[in-house]
Structure 1
Amino acid sequence: MRITIDKVKFINSINIVNKATSKKPNLNTSGCILIDATKGYIRLLANNEDMAIQSIVEGEISEEGMVGVNADQLKNLIVKYPDGKINIFYNEREDDDSINVLIENNNIKATIPGKEGYLFNDIPEIDRNKRLEISQYALKDIIRRTIFCTSLNSINKILEGELFIIKNGILRVEAVEQSRVAIRQIEINNNEIDERLIIKGSSLNELIKIMSDDTEQNIDMYFMKDNVVFEFDQNIIVMRLIEGNFFDSSNLKYKDYITKVDINKRSIYECLDRSTLFANDGDKKSVKFVITNDNLNINVISQTGALNENIEIAKEGDDIEINFNPKLFIDALKAIDDETVTIYLLGKKFPCFIRKEDTYNYVILPILG
């Protein structure tokens, strides 16, 4: 194989596919990516147990072939090369069947070990019958505003994923953790797709690192039996779906609230942020909300000090005292852009809802005791 690639474009593609390199030490391809120049174009490929990424990079093919290399070693070498064209060449040594990959730039020549291309699994054939085109910004935004509710390592693998419901021109994304729920929905320009799928949160987190913030750039989603595919900007990302039954959010009923509060988001956010200095690991990590008349009093007493603060509110319903983990509130408020938020409380032992009809619903369980 002999190819020529621009340094900057090469590094960008390496960074993209490196997000899918396997970290299992017992695999022969652990930490490696495939450089493939056998299909008339140059592509980089990596895969692990959760997803696979292919990235096409512009370049010249002088001799076809494919070879695997350690992604970090390759990147760390190339970033130290001068800007310009990078030549990559490999040939197989006959004495021990090992591979050396030669990387050239002007007068610089370096050699790193390689691996046979057949060791790498290719991406599956994509069924393009079910296609949803959506703005990269819109998809990235709805994931970013919900993904904080997914668990990283849970006995229940369902909690590590986000539920995507696509129906009647609406994309709805839900995430559930032990003490909270995040739900958001947006309108899409497709009334034909009817899909319900669970995608691992860690894979989605890698996806949004790659996607653009440009509202004019789109991404295609394809839906298959065991996978969902995202295609954009010469990149294809295949994610394995999580099997199982997701939490039924239809049971989250807020209309039986006893207290409704409208409050300035910045005021409550800054107050709760200050309260985290005192609601620390040595205590229950809780602050008390005391809602009376048109006032919300937030107070905390701990081994490290105390905080007592009042915020003006518009209240409907009963007075109430209730305890919350301030971090859960802060995470939800970070995901909301509205100047004023509405909080619904069902009682001191029941969840509260921060919601806006047909847009978002953040559910937080109180701390009892």
Structure 2
Amino acid sequence: MKFTASTSTILKQISALSGVIPSNPTIPILENFLFEITNGVLKITASDLQTSIISEVSVEADTDGSIAIPAKMLADTLKNLPEQPVTFNIDLDTYSISINSDNGRYKLAGENAADFPSIPQLGRADSLVIPSDVLTDAIGYTLFATSNDEMKPAMNGVFFNVTEEHANFVASDSHRLIRYRREDLQANLDAAIIIHKKALSLMKNILPSEREDVTMEFNDQNAIFSFGSTKLICRLIDERFPDYENVIPLNNDNLVTLDRQGLLGCLKRIVIYANKSTNQVRFKVQGNELTVSAEDIDFSNEANERLFCEHDGEDIEIGFNAKFLIEMLNNIHADKVTLKLSEPGMAGLIVPAENLTDEDVLMLVMPIMLHNFS
């Protein structure tokens, strides 16, 4: 089997797939890309058994065939070659691969394509079309808040909850909860699936920068996201996502509105002086002034800053984990944010002061109990 393509063409395809390749695979062949040629179309597949990405590209080929090619060696070779046509000569009997370029010849050992695990087929499935920019935003708003706790598998991914009214994308790690709602995305079906954070992280890196429709097909076990010449297939998390709507407080009417970048910069400075195990900062709101402070008694470190704010409600003093707040503020695209508070022991909400049309962003964070009030 022989085919020819430019180094940039092949490299572009395998770069999108490289993130799937596991560092310590359960079966050795997963360290390979699966190359399959049919009627002049090269289909490249990478998989870790839970998530697979397939990409297609046209090449000049003399015959159909398939081979598993070592992923790292191939990627490293093409990265270090200048832009030029390269020809792959493959012996399907010995699985020997020869890559010929203007500069030289590179020979490596492949493996039998038949040993590569089969990719799940959905059969009967529901489908939904999501614009790529909406999907990019949904992943960006939620992915950082997923849990790393394998004892809570339902929280290791993002909950896609699409109804006839709207679409909710939800993530939580028990300390915070993010709900990104799109009013312009509905379906005449109820989609309630949890997609693992690794699959979403990979998808975020390969989604097109230009607006393009992404087709999501899913059944009880798997989901397929298709766009352009690329498909991402992932196994769903077979767990029940917590009833997130009941966690979101409805009576947080103590409102503090302030500049997002100003608060973000303040927190980045103040957290330096906080206790390293809790990262606790104290918010003290009096009138139109917010005082942010932190102390680490063990090392006699302390710091405080004052920020102007718009305040509607009673004076309040409440503690939060600064690292959580910093991550949340980094992932809100708004000039001003509003903190919706109620009591020192109750969850606080962070929302954009003004939401964009058709979208609603809500971020919940649990407080840290303050032991002494000043």
TM-score after normalising by structure 2: 0.91
Work out whether 1:87 is the aligned partner of 2:81: no
Retained in 2: the 8 A contact 1:351–1:363? yes
Q: Match of 1:248?
A: 243
Q: Match of 2:207?
A: 211
Retained in 1: the 8 A contact 2:248–2:364? no
Quote the offset at 1:59 in angstroms.
Answer: 0.7
Q: Structure 1 residues 103-112 or 188-197, which shifts more?
A: 188-197
Q: Structure 1 residues 21-30 or 80-89, which shifts more?
A: 21-30
Paired letter, 2:28? N
**Alpha-carbon spacing, 1:225–1:106, altered in 2? closer, same or farther (3 Å):** same
Partner Cα distance (1:259, 1:195) in 2: 35
Paired letter, 1:362? M
Quote the offset at 1:154 in angstroms.
Answer: 2.4
Quote the offset at 1:99 in angstroms.
Answer: 2.3
TM-score after normalising by structure 1: 0.92
Q: Match of 2:322?
A: 326
Task: Summarize the alignment of residues 224-239 of structure 1 with structure 2, pairs less than 5 Å apart.
Answer: 224-239=219-234
Please, which of 269, 278, 287 is the counterpart of residue 284 of structure 1?
Answer: 278
Q: What per-residue deviation string (whole Å, max 9, x for no partner) do you get for residues 209-230 of structure 1?
A: 1112223x22111122211111
**Equivalent residues, number:** 363
Task: Summarize the alignment of residues 111-150 of structure 1 with structure 2, pairs less than 5 Å apart.
Answer: 111-127=107-123, 130-150=126-146
3-state SS, counterpart of residue 191 of structure 1:
coil
3-state SS, counterpart of residue 346 of structure 2:
coil
Quote the offset at 1:304 in angstroms.
Answer: 6.6
Task: Summarize the alignment of residues 11-30 of structure 1 with structure 2, pairs less than 5 Å apart.
Answer: 11-30=11-30
Quote the offset at 1:181 in angstroms.
Answer: 0.6
Q: Match of 1:171?
A: 167
Paired letter, 1:298? V
Partner Cα distance (1:26, 1:231) in 2: 27
Q: What per-residue deviation string (whole Å, max 9, x for no partner) do you get for residues 125-173 of structure 1?
A: 3458633222211111111111100123422111111100111252210
Partner Cα distance (2:162, 2:278) in 1: 39
Task: Summarize the alignment of residues 34-113 of structure 1 with structure 2, pairs less than 5 Å apart.
Answer: 34-38=34-38, 40-92=40-92, 98-113=94-109
Retained in 1: the 8 A contact 2:254–2:313? yes
Paired letter, 2:242? F
3-state SS, counterpart of residue 367 of structure 2:
coil
Partner Cα distance (1:46, 1:335) in 2: 30
Quote the offset at 1:321 in angstroms.
Answer: 1.1
Partner Cα distance (2:332, 2:26) in 1: 43
Structure 2: gaps spanning 5 or more residues: none
Partner Cα distance (1:26, 1:248) in 2: 34
Q: Match of 2:267?
A: 272
Retained in 2: the 8 A contact 1:163–1:246? yes
Retained in 2: the 8 A contact 1:290–1:297? yes
Work out whether 1:355 is the aligned partner of 2:355: no
Q: Match of 2:368?
A: 367
Retained in 1: the 8 A contact 2:30–2:47? no
Partner Cα distance (1:55, 1:13) in 2: 6
- Flag as ranges the 4+ runs of structure 1 deviating above 4 A: 126-129
Retained in 2: the 8 A contact 1:51–1:238? yes
Retained in 1: the 8 A contact 2:30–2:46? no
Quote the offset at 1:249 in angstroms.
Answer: 1.2
**Alpha-carbon spacing, 1:107–1:179, altered in 2? closer, same or farther (3 Å):** closer
Partner Cα distance (1:136, 1:71) in 2: 28
3-state SS, counterpart of residue 18 of structure 1:
helix
3-state SS, counterpart of residue 45 of structure 1:
strand
Paired letter, 2:293? N
Q: Match of 2:3?
A: 3
Retained in 1: the 8 A contact 2:39–2:63? no
Partner Cα distance (2:272, 2:201) in 1: 28
Quote the offset at 1:122 in angstroms.
Answer: 3.2
Paired letter, 1:300? A
**Alpha-carbon spacing, 1:153–1:257, altered in 2? closer, same or farther (3 Å):** closer
Partner Cα distance (1:189, 1:158) in 2: 24
Structure 1: gaps spanning 5 or more residues: none
Quote the offset at 1:121 in angstroms.
Answer: 2.2
**Alpha-carbon spacing, 1:280–1:33, altered in 2? closer, same or farther (3 Å):** farther
Partner Cα distance (1:366, 1:218) in 2: 39
Retained in 1: the 8 A contact 2:156–2:196? yes
Retained in 1: the 8 A contact 2:147–2:155? yes
CA-based RMSD: 2.0
Q: Match of 2:256?
A: 261
- The percent of aligned pairs where both chains have the same amino acid is 22
Q: Structure 1 residues 244-253 or 118-127, which shifts more?
A: 118-127
